Amino acid sequence: MSLEYHNSDPGAVEFGNFINYYQFNTPEERLAVFPSHVWSNWQSTDGKLLVLDIGCNAGNFTQLFYKFIREHSKRDVYILGIDIDPVLIERAQEDNAHPSNIKYLNLDFMKDTRCIDEYLTFHSRTSFDVVLCLSITMWIHLNHGDEGLKMFLRRASTLSDLVVIEPQPWKCYRTAVRRMTKAKKHFPQFPNLKLCDGVDVAISEFLENECQVGKIYESAETKWKRRINIYRKVV
């Protein structure tokens, strides 16, 4: 899997692996709606704060979030950024300003978590403190269907104390499908999706009802009409 788009349209991608994502959705604008008050109450006692960034793209936000959470948590922060696209991961590795604390791996979270388990073992952990799922739920949903999305949410919430989700609204699905259709490609799962209108609400309800987490923060809308939602594991 590599940096590939269809019909000369950089937006016609199958997995959300945009080549220029952070040119139109800057990391600074996304971080501006993150709260500063939820990063200091942790169950772990080893002085570390472990973060998994799923779908990290070229790592631009990962780098910025590292500085942000280190400042607000007062802990030694370690981030594992993963992405399905090897070219994006190569870019992230080349631009990594904190190689001792940030690691990037090319892997598909829906198919292989072995490297994630190895990362946790290296840090003598069984879970992360934070999992970031930023604008990736739609791509999981379009490629793996309703059950695939639910499986993803279960895995993400099991892996961490805090889960940060920025879900795409249904209109983004229609845009993605339209672009792929124009390129004479399609998402086979799309006609079978039952979680449609109000998918962002459905995601929140599933997490709270089925994944033993509770929402502790919801941001105002970004200029892209999306919200940052943070969930904490219910003990």
The domain that contains 76 carries what CATH number?
Answer: 3.40.50.150
Categorize the per-residue pLDDT at 235 as very low, low, confident or very high, splitting at 50, 70 and 90. Answer: confident
β-sheet bridge partners, residue 49: 77
Number of structural domains, the chain? Answer: 1
In a domain, 178, yes or no: yes
Q: CA 84, CA 148: separation in Å to the nearest integer? A: 16
Radius of gyration of the chain (CA): 17
Measure the CA–CA gap between 87 and 97, rounded to whole angstroms.
18
- The whole domain housing 102 covers 27-233
In a domain, 172, yes or no: yes
Structural domain includes residue 73: yes
Helix (H) or strand (E) holding 155: helix 137-158
| Average pLDDT of the residues in 36-42 | 89
Q: Is residue 6 part of a domain?
A: no
Element holding 133 (H helix, E strand): strand 128-134
Residue 154 lies in a domain: yes
**Partners of 54 in beta bridges:** 82, 133
Q: What are the tens digits of pLDDT across the range 61-111?
A: 999 999 999 999 999 999 999 999 999 999 999 999 999 999 999 999 999
Residue 72 resides in a domain: yes
Question: For residue 23, is pLDDT > 90?
Answer: no
Q: Per residue in 75-90, is it b (16+ CB within 10 Å) or e — as a string?
A: bebbbbbbbbbebbbe
In a domain? residue 114:
yes
Q: Is residue 204 part of a domain?
A: yes
Tell me the pLDDT tens digit for each residue of 133-146: 999 999 999 999 99
The whole-number pLDDT of residue 162 equals 97
pTM: 0.92
